Amino acid sequence: MYRILIVEDDRGIAEAIREQAVQWGLDARCVEDFRNVLSDFASYEPHLILLDIALPFFNGYHWCSEIRRVSKVPVIFISSASDNMNIVMAMNMGADDFIAKPFDQNVLIAKVQAMLRRTYDFAAAVPVLEHRGALLNTGDNTLTYGGEKIDLTKNEYRILAALMENKGKVVSRERLMERLWESDSFVDENTLTVNVNRLRKKLDGAGLSGFITTKFGVGYLIG
């Protein structure tokens, strides 16, 4: 079932869209926290986003730009600010379509379904893991924080992915070494320690201090 994330602060409009989407066999969720849209995006892993321009705290252009840093998921703007300047700006920010308010609900859902068919007939949604604002794209193995990409080696990516897939849980050193063994290189206890330390330095340098916590004699977790 396709998942639609609705980023619209008018509760009545957002709920009406959600209900219409459900009637057409789609799964839909309305964003609640407009300070941290990326958190909902990462946890819900939507196949398409409906995004208003005028939002509390940060506008739709900001969130479209942030989403585009980590994902190619289709974004359709829905806004009453439908003059040419706003439409052009939305497209330049990475939007795939622009639908002016007021709109017919059936027409909106028809456009959503058409976009989904075009996008996912031959492709699958790429999950994004999120913690403390850090976004790990498992499609291209990139980490983004504060709008900046952090370069990771293959081993660093494997370690971080294992930890972020198990948020709140300790991941044993043995399990992490199994993830590293997925590569062709020989991995021992020292290799793991070296890679974790290098990863920590990169995260600290990007402003993510204390992101990885050591549980001595057991393993690691993210905090």
pLDDT, average across residues 156-169: 90
On average, the pLDDT of the chain sits at: 86
Q: Distance between CA 155 and CA 89 in Å, rounded?
A: 39
In the numeric block, the tokens 């709920």 are attached to 15
Among candidates 110, 137, 112, which has minimal Cα distance to 125? 137
Element (H, E) at 37: helix 37-44
Amino acid 183: pLDDT: 55
Contact 52/101 with Cβ under 8 angstroms? Answer: no
Q: What is the pLDDT confidence band of residue 186, given thresholds at 50, 70 and 90?
A: low
In the chain, the percentage of residues whose pLDDT exceeds 70 is 94
Q: Kindly provide the residue ranges of all beta strands, DSSP E only, lying in the chain, ordered along the sequence.
A: 3-7, 27-30, 48-51, 75-79, 97-100, 128-131, 134-137, 142-145, 148-150, 171-172, 212-215, 219-222
> Residue 188 pLDDT > 80, yes or no?
no
Helix (H, G, I), strand (E, B) or coil at 87: helix
Q: Tally the residues of the chain.
A: 223
> Residue 182 pLDDT > 70, yes or no?
no
